[in-house]
Structure 1
Amino acid sequence: MFIVVSAGTISRRLVAGGISHAAGRPQSPTVRSVRGVAVRPARRPRTEGGEALLRAEWFAIWTHSHCEQLVHDQLAGKGFEVFLPTIRVWSRRAGKRRLIPLPMFPGYLFAHCTMDKGAYIETLSTRGVVRILGERWDRLATVADAEIEALQRLIEVDAPVLPHPYLHEGQRVRITDGAFAGIEGLLVRSRPNRGLVVLSVELLHQSVAVEVDCTAVTPIAPAAAALADRARLLAS
């Protein structure tokens, strides 16, 4: 088996005031399937007190504990396109085991919009929101489209996933076949034939994993990978 870690690179990296966004987040035990919520077209609010970004981008919104769905519903009601990926985990309640939905990334959801100052204030004023990841309204950190799209593909095929430690090291590979063809990542050796594709959101330092046939991956030449990373860095 192999473990594959996604190589989606955030277009603008954040060092956010010493806050470790992944710290203290509980990891779910046994996981069966993935669900997510994405609604409405991207909101393009009028500029009020600041210039809008040139195009809609994905932003990570940090919420109070257990407020992810509350924030999602409020922002959707305001016309934002929001994405709250969830996973179903086994839980024992009243002596019975049942599958319940939990956020894939506890304490976070994503919004896709052109974030001007008015939209920033409107988002921050939403009940349950702690902050939008970034330094200030015009210097927010964004999540790469490829990372969001990879998570959405998991949801579309209803693939079994489970939380996975955030990984940094390994050989860069590209999946060449199946529902996840084209997704790139880092390869870590495990058992033959079967492995896990780990889709990471680098801004959150969190990952999820989906089982994959690891014979359907091909190495990416180090030079090509380095050039791709450099191009993404220059574009950020």
Structure 2
Amino acid sequence: MDDEKITENHAVDSSDANVNVDTLNDDGIQKKWYAVHTYSGFEDHVKLALEERIASSGLKKYFGDIIIPKEDVIEKNVKGGKKKVKRKFFPGYIFVNMNVNTDSWHLLKGTPKVTGFVGDQLNPMAVDESEMDKIIAQITEGIKRPKAKIEFSKGDIVKITEGPFSGFNGTIDDIKPDKSKLEVLVSIFGRATPVELDFTQVERN
């Protein structure tokens, strides 16, 4: 580990004319977002451990938010029951807003279940700001509107459980994942009639 190289490349001088002032905290320390790889399934454990290590290290000024992008999805069990669960956008990754220098690099890398940064381990590659904006927008949208987990295929026979056609069977003709909706062909008076339904309004036979 070349400590001097890291310090030269990532310690930010507030006099640098190219630094965006909006990214500086009160100490004049610039932070960027970095994707950090973890053992899959241990993302929440790593976030908690890292927060505790930061709090006890005296290096809090080099760290900002730590996020695990998730969205709410609605899953249905075999009996047709529904439950809301959290689904990770990027299993095996957390996102850390930080200033990478010798001390902060070692603190993060020494956190249990962390395998490293995305990109060059000696010179981690920051996540592009526009990409991070999209990720944060996805999180916000997921909080506002829980999505149903896609568990259907075109041609599946389903039973409608809610709405005016409750109790009818139909065949899935189209799936609209962006709207969490299905187009189901329902036989009404002997004719196949397309009906648009939410994922949560049907269950597989």
TM-score with structure 1 length normalisation? Answer: 0.43
Structure 1 or 2, whichever has the larger Rg, is 2
TM-score with structure 2 length normalisation? Answer: 0.49
Higher helix share: 2
